[in-house]
Amino acid sequence: MAVATRTISSLSAPFTQAQLSTALQAAFVNAGFTSLFDSFTSGTDLVLVYAFVVDGAKTFGTTYLRVRITNTFIINQALYSTWNATTHTGGNSSTEVAYSTLVSTTSVTFNALNASGEVRLILATQGALFLPLGMIAPINRRSSWDLKDWNWGHIFISSTMLILRSSGLNQYSNAENDIALAGSTRLATANVQDNERDILSGLILLNQSN
């Protein structure tokens, strides 16, 4: 995995919905999303859409991230396998994630992490609130996970960052993936044969379809 470049920015209080959207767009650029794929207003919501290209030559080598900002300062995210910027609609949507409500009277800090083609994350904080925004697309995936058939990209569904969600188009027909942590009780003791410990190279994703 590439080392991430970290860029910190902030949004001073008080702020408006439009100012929050502008600050988020700058943070997404810092995280490696070079430009908006689409942006529009839906009712009272401001919507931003970004494309994460893993392999532009493959049918589903790009995953689309839709970020919806409500007028009550709730940021929502969802993933799509395709996106039409003319009709503002996408295919194979994931279930939308709604993060904690921000307060317009308190400033927000954005830690943008850009690790080449793997990690494009924004860790937004406001006091005790923590919002993991953006996407990750790990370089290592099963050889059977062909981008001509399925997307490869994930969002965190909560501030604990223990579950990743993919688009509705995935190999297991289940969009939820747990992260197997090194602190798992399954890895608590050394191998009884040689008293050595196994080494896991990176975090392991376990699909909830078992």
Query: Element (H or E) spanning 53, and its range?
Result: strand 45-53
**pLDDT tens, per residue, the chain with 210 residues:** 568 899 999 999 999 999 999 999 999 999 999 899 999 999 999 999 999 999 999 999 999 999 999 999 999 999 999 999 999 999 999 999 999 999 999 999 999 999 978 999 999 999 999 999 999 999 988 888 999 999 999 999 999 998 999 999 998 889 999 887 655 666 677 877 788 877 766 778 888 887
Nearest to 91 by CA among 32, 49, 31, 132: 49
Instruction: Measure the CA–CA gap between 172 and 195, rounded to whole angstroms.
Output: 36
Instruction: Measure the CA–CA gap between 149 and 144, rounded to whole angstroms.
Output: 10
Q: In what order do the strands lie in the sheet with 97-98?
A: 38-42, 45-53, 62-69, 75-80, 97-98
Please, which residues have CB within 8 angstroms of residue 29's CB and are 6 or more apart in sequence?
35
